[in-house]
Structures are given as structure tokens and as C-alpha cells.
Amino acid sequence: MFVGTSREKFFYHNTLLCLVRAMQGKNITVDLRNNDSYVCGHVDNVDGYMNISFSNAVYCDPQGNEYLFENLFLQGRNIRYVHVPEATSILTTIRNELGENKKPRPNKKDVSTSRKVKKAVKQHMETVASLGLNE
């Protein structure tokens, strides 16, 4: 279940954040907004603002230099693209992610069990019975 503020929950349910969050535990590539650099690594966590925590990440700058990081944190505002692995079905992943986090709706109270309804049914049955006897 998604845990966060009401604003984060709104983003989760109304943007493609749910798809990025479903990538937790997978290796992905993220293009950054600055100078066409990118990060490849294992996604540990995605929060409600699309901030991503990586482990065993490789940062590649525009000149082709690669820098290894044991842990790396990207702010959501620095992300340009998130590359979804080809083996992942996007629609299925979104449905599964949102389906898991749906809260089961509480069953409405059975109308026929309330005292008012029982009393009304009893009066109705008495009225019907009295009409049947008069005929």
C-alpha cells in the first residue's frame, strides 16, 4: 500500500508515478535534465515526488566518463526520462500496481437488518394480511 501525504497519493494515482514506483527492485536507466547525462542502477525506493534512490548506480556524464556509486539519490525535478525495460508490459504493470493499493471498500450495512426496516416490513405484512382477510 502506498504511504505518503495526500499530495503524494494524488500524484501516485493521477500521474505515471505508479509506473516508476513499480520499477522498484529492478535495474533501470534514468536520463537527467542536465547536459544529457544519465544514471543506470538498481532502484531501491521511489517516493511520492518521484525522488529515486539507487544502489550500485553508474552515473555517465556527457563526455562519456562513468562514475560508480554505492548509493545515489536523484530528485524528481532532475529527471527527464525513465526508461522502462522492454520486457515490462506498461499497462499490466500499472494495473497491478494500482490494483494492489486499492483499499477494499467497506460493505454497506445491509438495509434489511435495520430496526426501521424491520418495523416497516412488519407493518406492511400486517396490512397485507388484514387486506387478505377482508376479501
pLDDT digits (tens, 9 = 90+) for 7-52: 888 888 888 999 999 999 999 999 999 888 999 999 999 999 999 9
- Residue with grid cell 500521474, as numbered in its chain: 15
CB 42 within 8 A of CB 27: yes
Confidence of residue 104 (pLDDT cuts 50, 70, 90): low
Does 105 or 53 have the greater pLDDT score?
A: 53
63 pLDDT tier (thresholds 50, 70, 90)? very high
Q: Domain 6-106: state its class.
A: mainly beta
Task: State the pLDDT confidence band at 57, using cuts at 50, 70 and 90.
Answer: very high
108 pLDDT band, cuts 50/70/90, is low
Identify the burial level of 98 via C-beta atoms within 10 angstroms of its C-beta, where 0-12 means exposed, 13-18 middle and 19 or more buried.
middle
Predicted TM-score (pTM) of the model is: 0.70
In degrees and rounded to multiples of 5, residue 109 shows phi and psi of -60, 135
Residue % of the chain over a pLDDT of 70: 86
**Which of 70, 1, 19 is closest to 42 using CA atoms?**
70
Cell representation of residue 48: 511520492
